[in-house]
Structure 1
């Protein structure tokens, strides 16, 4: 079995979905500390040809809380503002209506925490892109929060009986291939490859939220995007 473990991000970039698509089971790391100014509640979309950062407001977010404890700020203002920005920016995109219907459903979901919103968003977006990888929260099964970093990852791999663990390339300095190999587990890092597509008449802006890809690509093109990576 091949697995990956990641914190939940809202509408992440294509590399996050490439990782989900590359494994048999994807574990959402929801019972680790929230990171301020990370990607859990924000991302970039294309506005007037340039990256535009949107942020989902949270209630008393703190690095002293676990991700699954951080609540959404209960106001409809952010939903209306975000959907309006997306509508104004993408309404002339070739696959706007179908993508917008999906995004609107997610954004308007009535849940309490940012974790619940991100989990639902990942599940629905994966279904839209025909990714059938099993997605499970780390808090529901492993009971190993006393472990940290690499040791906790290895313990989850052992509990799952995994023989292959894939991590984003940003973790190359954090994880030791020889330590994984000593436990009978192959460790690879996934590297996303440039895969430009037409964004209106603008110069291509890479690595935006998956929202951008859904707006400009049909299902066949999205499947090609999901394969545009290498393992190192």
Structure 2
């Protein structure tokens, strides 16, 4: 059992895979790391859905995106036609999914949300999905608070944990090489990594494709099944 306030820090991803929401479900507060450099060809503004029985990338077009800019400085493309185009693609290929009629109105609210900044657009999308699946984790964009951008890497993570009064910092398994357990322990913070069993569900086709956008999970699973998936995880102690 993990006791104490649990905190996670992640860059904002648009309609990310289920593991992102499992992390949200595992903590009391998620800090959206939106004042770090944008990553070209990353997962911040794109993800994958099923298209003709195979993974297909969809992208949120951006205006003057650059790795020299911070995420919250990036704007959406001025031409809004991509919003309806992406919605039509989703509708065409998921219209026979069992939860299509329930999920599509939420996706329309997400894609048609009338903002021009990428960070605000992504934050709203995360909040919409969280509300749909019943997650009440608090979300805090890092650009609005903390004032510690001069710090880097682990030092900044620790400082945010202290400001938030967190006793536990939770990260994905991919962060094992980024953080030192003893340093966290010396600062009075437990370092934990989130583990989960492989999740497979019926995509109404032969071969299963995992790690798709949460859109796919929402389309093929009812709320009870999704909530069970969100709880299908455990905390892994780092190796010392």
Length-normalised TM-score, structure 2: 0.95
**Partner of 2:40: helix, strand, or coil?**
coil
Paired position in structure 2 for 1:177: 181
Distance 2:87 2:151 in 1: 40
Q: Which runs of 4+ in 1 moved over 6 A?
A: none
Once the two structures are superposed, what CA deviation does each residue of 1:27-77 show, in whole Å capped at 9, x if it has no partner? 101111111111110001011111101011101100110000000001122
Match of 2:117 in 1: 113
Residue equivalent to 1:89? 93
Q: Residue 194 of structure 1 contacts residue 228 of structure 1 at CA under 8 Å; is this kept in 2?
A: no
Deviation at 1:11, TM superposition (A): 0.2
Q: Check conservation: 1:30, 1:67, Cα contact below 8 A.
A: yes
Alpha-carbon distance in structure 2 between the residues aligned to 1:4 and 1:21: 10
- Determine if the alignment matches structure 1 residue 219 to structure 2 residue 223: yes
Q: How does 1:128-147 map to 2 (within 5 A)?
A: 128-147=132-151
2:83 matched residue in structure 1:
79
2: distance between equivalents of 1:38 and 1:48? Answer: 24
Residue matched to 1:45: 49
The DSSP-based 3-state class of the residue aligned with 2:102 is helix
The 5 A counterparts of 1:1-232 are: 1-232=5-236
Q: How far is the alpha carbon of 1:103 from its aligned partner?
A: 0.6
Shift, 1:122, TM fit = 0.4
| Aligned partners of 1:109 and 1:117 also within 8 Å | yes
- How many residues matched? 232
Q: TM-score, normalised by structure 1?
A: 0.98
CA contact under 8 A between 1:5 and 1:28: conserved in structure 2? yes
CA distance in 1, matches of 2:98, 2:45: 27
Measure, in 1, the Cα distance between the counterparts of 2:52 and 2:233. 28
Q: Which consecutive residues of structure 1, in runs of 5 or more, have no partner in the other structure?
A: none
Instruction: Mark the runs of 5 or more structure 2 residues left unpaired by the alignment.
Output: none
Aligned-residue CA RMSD (Å): 0.8
